[in-house]
Amino acid sequence: MPQNNETEIKKVGTHKQETWDWLKSLISALVIALLIREFVIQAFTIPTGSMESTMLVGDHLFVNKLSYGFKLPFTTKKILNWGEVKRDSIVVFLPPHEVDRVYVKRCKGLPGDTLEIKEKALFINKEAQVEPYKKHLDNNIFPESYTVRDNLKAFLVPKKGDLLEIKKEEICLAGQKVEDQNIAKLYALLISREGNVGESKSDGYYAGSARLEELTLAQLCAEILGKNGGKESFEHQVKEDYFFMMGDNRDNSADSRFWGFVPRERLIGRPVLVWMPLDRFGLPPK
């Protein structure tokens, strides 16, 4: 009888050890999966049609999060930057005007580039661009005074170290007044974001009850100057390199034309694989 008790104790001990070993394996696998998702590869889904026909609504992507640097765990703060962002690359990023959404667009403007949109045609550094991937579903062409979708006067994509000056109702870049109000507003939004003007809420950044993007240029300038002691003018040195992102479905894309430049720190990575749906499985389109 004592031998049976001893056997039963051994069986219980063995069972507990097996359970503990299984739990350790499960925990280790979960930790490894979490680390891979946080630092190396993460799955994303295309939510809108702004990149059609290159990428479709519902496409599931694996994104290489080491494409452009290394960030602090579980934050958006980059501690190391590497990897060149190439023009026309498809990039996954955190948009500057949203708190917790992820966008997928094509990088069209690099730091220091001059861009211009004339009747839907894009010019970079005065050269007309050949863009076989883009499409236009609306034949109407609207003036810039109505929308920046089809026309936008020449402007400079900011780079680290550029000097912007804010006055009562105007923005100056490198000592020159930015005459175009739409472009000046994009620069004002950049200053607002780098200077932490506005309150972060679940669906964006606000000044009072209005999103920063809804404010006029004069209102943005007033918010910036108020944040900096109510001065009549204020100089701001750009802290990061910036990029201009556009969707391939140009007439139906909310992109940098409307909400501004994307700082390098908010770049997540590049798509490396479309894994769902199965009929689209493979390397992402160029």
The backbone torsions φ and ψ at residue 244, rounded to the nearest 5 degrees and listed phi first, read -110, 115
Looking at residue 282, its pLDDT comes to 84
HEC sequence for 135-147: ECCCCCCCCCCCC
Residue from 50, 192, 253, 256 carrying the catalytic annotation: 50
pLDDT tier at 151 (50, 70, 90 boundaries)?
very high
SS3 at position 200: strand
> Which of the two residues, 39 and 240, has the higher pLDDT score?
240
Angle between helices 181-194 and 217-227 (to 10 degrees): 30
Cα dist from 31 to 14, 34, 38, 44, 70, whole Å: 26, 5, 10, 20, 18
Confidence of residue 217 (pLDDT cuts 50, 70, 90): very high
Give the contacts of 149 (CB within 8 A, at least 6 positions apart): 142, 250, 251, 257
Residues 128-145: pLDDT tens digits? 999 999 999 999 999 999
Q: How far apart are CA 63 and CA 61, in angstroms?
A: 6
Where along the chain do its domains lie?
Answer: 1-39
Work out the average pLDDT over 67-93: 82
pLDDT digits (tens, 9 = 90+) for 244-256: 999 999 999 999 9
- Give which of 172, 159, 99, 157 is closest to 124, Cα–Cα: 157
Sequence letter at residue 154: A
227 tagged catalytic? no
Instruction: Read off the pLDDT band of 27 (50, 70, 90).
Output: low
Among the listed residues 65, 71, 78, 105, the single catalytic one is 105
Q: Cα separation of 51 and 233, whole Å?
A: 40
- Does the CA dihedral 275-277-278-284 come out positive or negative? negative
Q: Is 253 a catalytic residue?
A: no
Biggest alpha carbon distance in the chain?
98
Token pair for residue 13?
Answer: 């001990």
Spatial neighbors of 71 by CB under 8 A, at least 6 apart, are 77, 78, 79
How far is residue 133 from each of residues 27, 104, 227, 248, measured CA to CA in Å? 44, 15, 43, 6
- What's the pLDDT band for 63 if we cut at 50, 70, 90? very high
Reported pTM: 0.86
The pLDDT confidence band at residue 99, using thresholds 50, 70 and 90, is confident
